[in-house]
Amino acid sequence: MTTTAPTTTPAAIDLDQLCINTIRTLSIDAVQQANSGHPGTPMAMAPVVYGLWQRWLRYDPRDPIWPNRDRFVLSIGHASMLLYSMLYLCGVRAVDPQYEQLGTAAVTLDDIKRFRQLDSKCPGHPEYRWTSGVETTTGPLGQGVATSVGMAIAGRWLAEHFNRPGSTLFDYDVYALCGDGDMMEGISNEAASLAGHLRLANLCWIYDYNRVTIEGHTDLAFGDDVAARFLAYGWNVTRVGDANDLDLLDRAFATFQRSTDRPTLIIVDSHIGYGAPHKQDTSAAHGEPLGEAEVRLAKRQYGWPEDAQFLVPDGVREHLQEGLGRRGHELREAWTAMFERYRAAYPALADDCSRIQRRQLPDGWDRNLPSFAPDAKGIAGRDASGQVLNVLAQNVPWLLGGSADLAPSTKTRLTFEGAGDFASGQYGGRNLHFGIREHAMAAILNGLSLAKVRPFGSGFLIFSDYSRPAIRLSALMELPVVYVFTHDSIGVGEDGPTHQPVEHLLSLRAIPGLITLRPADANEVVECWRTIMQFHHQPAALVLSRQPLPVLDRTTYASAAGVARGAYVLADAPGGQPEVLLLASGSEVALCVGAYDQLQREGIRARVVSMPSWELFDRQSREYRDGVLPPDVSARVAVEQASALGWERYAGTGGEIIGMHTFGASAPLKELQGKFGFTPERVVAAARAQLAKVR
């Protein structure tokens, strides 16, 4: 949908400037009162954000989660007061009952006065779910713009699946405000390259070209011709020579609106600080409060009362209500009426659309999931996962994703009829191709999830290092993104230590809110997926083997449904009275089962506990956890082909942990298992030693 900027009168121009200076001075005062923050960029970029919101953005402050709203991403999250000022002045309402009181203002003037203070709705960097109107958590530079690519992909995919003649449910645009720091971070280049390749014409990045970072002028470390780089990526590039020129900004936004075959980069020349073209301020305006004298000087420059603090002149909020507020409300009301007509004409599609927005699964989402028969030769975790994923994706039409160029190895390609590939001009496919861009992939998955579709992405576990910053933000934002990591251990074998993960399980388990699952056999894989799909606010890392794992006979051993509780008793001692516990995840569970059989023959009462997810187990009641790991049984052996660190919380300080204490080696799997002690014989010996110590 193309929006035309309104013509302006001299009185409106005066009100425009009054609004812009209100944004600036609110930002100055908030940073000064907090004695912390970044005032310079909000001062310089206030005209850009004001012009975009007031004249172009299709956004209803009364319903900031309207599905077809335009998205505004403040990738330069250190300029957070720029966004908080807009949320307050535009009257954005609170919509998240978990964190906010519904119907109240998302940001109040009191919140702004308490910028960067405990429990304020104005934290140091914008945080999704904490403050309505914040589309994504930003802070680490590059994450916002990369996430915006996922939002744009989702917009194209949703349009392809739900739009019908006369009913355009989805045609939103995504705007991201970024700066020199974003352009330097590698993730932004990964994401921009993919966006250009996919020709995402609903994506607009606004580049604040102020040539200043924390250390000083960008000439110290950055001399890229950004315009040439983005032209090479396949973007449309336009330039605004003065951030204060609203007419030039209108022309740039109109250029974006007219572009139908590629994303747009608008390069805006600004001067950090006051915003005046003749004034080049120091980095103090960028990274710390101005100080009382400089605050007075800045306000004098704006014609503002020098002693006034947190001043919002009459007419400012009303002007924004008449611009953004009225336009956005009318657009949202028209969309809502259209959706009701759509519901009557296409009830099944409307139901799917509503479920997506509420993160609800369709009826029968887990039907026809496979059940694997006992098999000593076994099946690799990745292969079992591929079978499960293809069934789930047929049952859940908005489950889509792909890999960082590794789908044939991670078994994450959707192969059923109609799955298709998401590509330039073919935006209905369910298979996404991220290229060898692990970091951007993870951020794009966050953007997809923020648009409410259900995304998955995959790679080798060793390369989770490349995705980890964005995975952390998945957890911080409480997004149900699914990360599928294969090649989970030294079982990779001949590829050697560069491809053999050792510390990676521990690294993922260390992220608060991320659920890590490492299944022991094919039926545990099924239950892992069944558990993951029911998450609403937790991302999951599903960690899978490349090598075959024996499929356990569940008529002999406990049901794999125990996965949902994180850990369960797989095989027990007679009468449920064990004298030694064998604990493991993944492929090492089979080692413990082999050791269990030998110990049973020796008359030693052993219990095998499969522990696919520490996080899920730790959420269980004390009664359940003590039932699985009896406190009075101190003889314990934990086994995992990964860093041993952390297992002491379950094995106890006196238990033995058979894990990795070095990097791996390049050799066939059997030789590696012997070298590093991952054999049933080693587990049996450790169990005997534990019992001897106890006795």
- How would you classify the pairing of strands 375-380 and 548-551? antiparallel
pLDDT value for 123: 97
When the pLDDT of each residue in the chain is averaged and rounded to a whole number, the result is: 94
Q: Percent of the chain beyond pLDDT 70? A: 96
Helices (H), 210-325: 226-233, 246-258, 284-287, 292-301, 316-320
Residue 380: is it exposed, middle or buried by C-beta count within 10 angstroms (0-12/13-18/19+)? Answer: buried
Q: How far apart are CA 612 and CA 648, in angstroms?
A: 16
8 A C-beta contact, residue 44 and residue 209: no
Q: Where are the domains of the chain?
A: 10-271+284-333, 375-550, 561-694
Q: Which of 176, 116, 174 lies closest to 141, judged by CA?
A: 176
Catalytic residue among 127, 438, 524, 579: 438
pLDDT in tens, 277-316: 334 343 344 567 889 999 999 999 999 999 999 999 999 9
Percent of the chain predicted with pLDDT > 90: 91
Q: What is the pLDDT of residue 283?
A: 39
How far apart, in whole angstroms, are the C-alpha atoms of residue 295 and residue 29? Answer: 8
438 tagged catalytic? yes
Render pLDDT for 45-71 as a digit per residue (tens, 0 to 9): 999 999 999 999 999 999 999 999 999
pLDDT digits (tens, 9 = 90+) for 366-402: 999 999 999 999 999 999 999 999 999 999 999 999 9
The pLDDT score that the predictor gives to residue 286 is: 54
Give ∠ CA 458-461-467 in degrees, rounded to 5.
65
Supply φ then ψ for residue 272, to 5 degrees. -60, 135
Q: Give the per-residue pLDDT at 285.
A: 46
Identity of residue 91? G
**Confidence (pLDDT) at 218:** 81
State which H helix or E strand residue 557 sits in: none
Angle at CA of residue 595, ends 594 and 600, nearest 5°: 105
Spatial contact of 94 and 105, defined as CB atoms under 8 Å apart: yes
Q: Return contacts of 392-396, CB within 8 angstroms, 24+ apart.
A: 392/365, 392/366, 392/529, 392/533, 393/419, 393/430, 395/362, 395/364, 395/365, 395/366, 395/367, 395/368, 396/361, 396/362, 396/365, 396/454, 396/533
pTM over 0.75: yes
Q: Please determine, looking at this structure, whether the domain spanning 10-271+284-333 carries the CATH number 3.40.50.970.
A: yes
574: how many CB neighbours lie within 10 A of its CB? 8
Pairing mode, strands 264-269 and 236-240: parallel
Q: Please report how many Cα atoms fall inside a 13 Å half-sphere around the Cα of residue 612, on the Cβ side.
A: 33
| CB within 8 Å of 455: residues ≥ 6 apart | 150, 399, 400, 401, 432, 445, 448, 449, 481, 482
CATH number listed for the domain at residues 561-694 = 3.40.50.920
Q: 165 falls in which pLDDT band (50, 70, 90)?
A: very high
Residue 4: band (very low, low, confident or very high) from pLDDT cuts 50, 70, 90? low
Q: Is 410 helix (H, G, I), strand (E, B) or coil?
A: helix
Confidence band of 220 (pLDDT split at 50, 70, 90): confident
Q: Is the dihedral of CA 200, 201, 203, 208 positive or negative?
A: positive
Tokens of 569: 């008793």
How do residues 204-216 score in pLDDT, each as one tens digit? 999 999 888 878 8
Question: Quick one: 375-550 is in which CATH superfamily?
Answer: Thiamin diphosphate (ThDP)-binding fold, Pyr/PP domains (3.40.50.970)
Q: Is the dihedral of CA 243, 244, 248, 250 positive or negative?
A: positive
Helix (H), strand (E), coil (C) string for 462-520: HHHHHHHHHHHHHHHHCCCCEEEEECCCHHHHHHCHHHCCCCHHHHHHCCCCCEEECCC
